[in-house]
């Protein structure tokens, strides 16, 4: 891989190489399947069977009707441009060709959740790693592992937006410094509350841009209309200190006014001073609404307090 043509980047910030994972950084114990290189990429997109294509179509049909009035404009535009409802699991090479011409991104197949440092490496090079499998009918309503529907329907449409596309690349690059400062957890919280579960203001109305919300019907409604969750304006320093829920609806959603604002608050300000100021652990509970927050809606937290998923609590 050519690395000599980037003389300004010191070796530790060479985005064309997978960053080294310092021994002191905790990583989830993911085992790389045999036969894959260090980049974790599968050699080709899987050939889906007819039932798997039908599962995509059913998931698409369930979700698409909810998009107007809930999803943000950039997402709707991206869905249309990429024609993700053409029938069956989309072909990665076709959507990559379209994406490349718009923003230089591509979609690449990975077998499962991949390690953070490998994920950063792909994002920094404008490659979005997408699950090379689809959920079963039994997992129709909920799957913890990101499958091709979550990754492609949820994430890929916004990669057609030039500013959001730049934010995603900047997020990947921010991973190198997070590793250096041992602040992976903080950077993950930012990803969680923006890319996965972010809300955006459009003409004074809240809309969704987070893929974790947009790939399922319950949270699409809950995040915008529920009385339980907080809705608070994004403050990057605060968000990077905030705990989050992995396998249930969020207790708090953070709102931006534009993708330009998101890019400005992170990449343009620079990640280094933020990492330097952060304590290693989270300081705020996921349900917290602080005196210093700009609060759009102070949630009742009743869904959370009644026990959330599995407790029978209604997502209201």
Q: Which residues bind Fe ion (CB under 5 A)?
A: 146, 211
User: How many other C-beta atoms lie within 10 A of the C-beta of residue 64?
Assistant: 14
User: Measured from the CB of residue 64, what is the shortest distance to Fe ion in angstroms?
Assistant: 19
Nearer to Fe ion by Cβ, of 123 and 251: the residue is 123
User: Measured from the CB of residue 168, what is the shortest distance to Fe ion in angstroms?
Assistant: 11
Nearer to Fe ion by Cβ, of 95 and 278: the residue is 95
Nearer to Fe ion by Cβ, of 128 and 271: the residue is 128
Neighbouring-strand partners of residue 233 = 255
User: Measured from the CB of residue 307, what is the shortest distance to Fe ion in angstroms?
Assistant: 25
Nearer to Fe ion by Cβ, of 78 and 146: the residue is 146
User: Measured from the CB of residue 210, what is the shortest distance to Fe ion in angstroms?
Assistant: 9
User: How many other C-beta atoms lie within 10 A of the C-beta of residue 275?
Assistant: 18
User: Measured from the CB of residue 195, what is the shortest distance to Fe ion in angstroms?
Assistant: 7
User: Measured from the CB of residue 11, what is the shortest distance to Fe ion in angstroms?
Assistant: 30
Nearer to Fe ion by Cβ, of 164 and 181: the residue is 164
Nearer to Fe ion by Cβ, of 146 and 299: the residue is 146
User: Measured from the CB of residue 1, what is the shortest distance to Fe ion in angstroms?
Assistant: 27
Nearer to Fe ion by Cβ, of 15 and 197: the residue is 197
User: Measured from the CB of residue 151, what is the shortest distance to Fe ion in angstroms?
Assistant: 6
Nearer to Fe ion by Cβ, of 99 and 278: the residue is 99
DSSP state of 227: S
Cβ-proximal residues to 194 (8 Å cutoff; 6+ apart), any chain:
167, 210, 234, 239, 254, 256, 262
* Residue 154 CA from chain centroid, whole number: 8
* Residue 62 CA from chain centroid, whole number: 21
By CB atoms closer than 10 A (0-12, 13-18, 19+), residue 66 is middle
CA distance to 55, 97, 229, per residue, from 107 (Å): 20, 9, 32
Which residue, 313, 151, 289, is CA-closest to 218? 313
CA distance to 43, 117, 122, 211, 236, per residue, from 16 (Å): 19, 12, 9, 26, 27
User: Measured from the CB of residue 149, what is the shortest distance to Fe ion in angstroms?
Assistant: 11
- Host H or E run for residue 128: strand 127-131
Nearer to Fe ion by Cβ, of 200 and 278: the residue is 200
Tokens of residue 244, six digits: 């989050």
Three-point CA angle 269, 272, 273, nearest 5°? 70
83: left (phi over 0), alpha (psi -120 to 50) or beta: left
By CB atoms closer than 10 A (0-12, 13-18, 19+), residue 297 is middle
């Amino acid at each position: 891989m050519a690395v000599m043509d980037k003389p300004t980047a010191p070796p530790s910030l060479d985005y064309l190489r997978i960053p080294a994972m310092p021994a002191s950084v905790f990583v989830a114990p993911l085992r790389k399947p045999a036969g894959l290189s260090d980049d974790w990429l599968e050699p080709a997109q899987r050939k889906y069977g007819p039932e798997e294509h039908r599962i995509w179509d059913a998931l698409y049909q369930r979700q698409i009707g909810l998009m107007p009035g809930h999803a943000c404009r950039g997402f709707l535009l991206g869905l249309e441009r990429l024609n993700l409802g053409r029938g069956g699991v989309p072909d990665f090479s076709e959507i990559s060709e379209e994406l490349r011409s718009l923003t230089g991104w591509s979609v690449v197949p990975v077998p499962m959740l991949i390690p953070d440092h490998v994920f950063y490496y792909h994002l920094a090079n404008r490659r979005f790693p997408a699950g090379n499998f689809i959920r079963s009918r039994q997992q129709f309503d909920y799957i913890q592992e990101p499958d091709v529907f979550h990754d492609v329907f949820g994430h890929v449409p916004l990669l057609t937006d030039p500013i959001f596309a730049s934010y995603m690349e900047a997020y990947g690059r921010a991973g190198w410094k997070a590793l250096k400062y041992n602040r992976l957890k903080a950077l993950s919280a930012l990803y969680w509350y923006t890319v996965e579960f972010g809300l955006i203001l459009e003409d004074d109305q809240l809309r969704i841009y987070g893929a974790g919300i947009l790939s399922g019907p319950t949270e699409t409604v809950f995040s915008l209309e529920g009385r339980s969750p907080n809705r608070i304006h994004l403050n990057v320093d605060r968000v990077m200190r905030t705990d989050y829920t992995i396998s249930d609806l969020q207790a708090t959603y953070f709102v931006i006014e534009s993708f330009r604002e998101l890019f400005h608050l992170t990449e343009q300000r620079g990640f280094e001073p933020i990492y330097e100021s952060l304590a290693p652990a989270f300081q705020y509970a996921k349900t917290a609404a602080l005196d210093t927050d700009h609060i759009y809606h102070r949630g009742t937290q009743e869904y959370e307090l009644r026990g959330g998923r599995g407790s029978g609590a209604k997502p209201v």
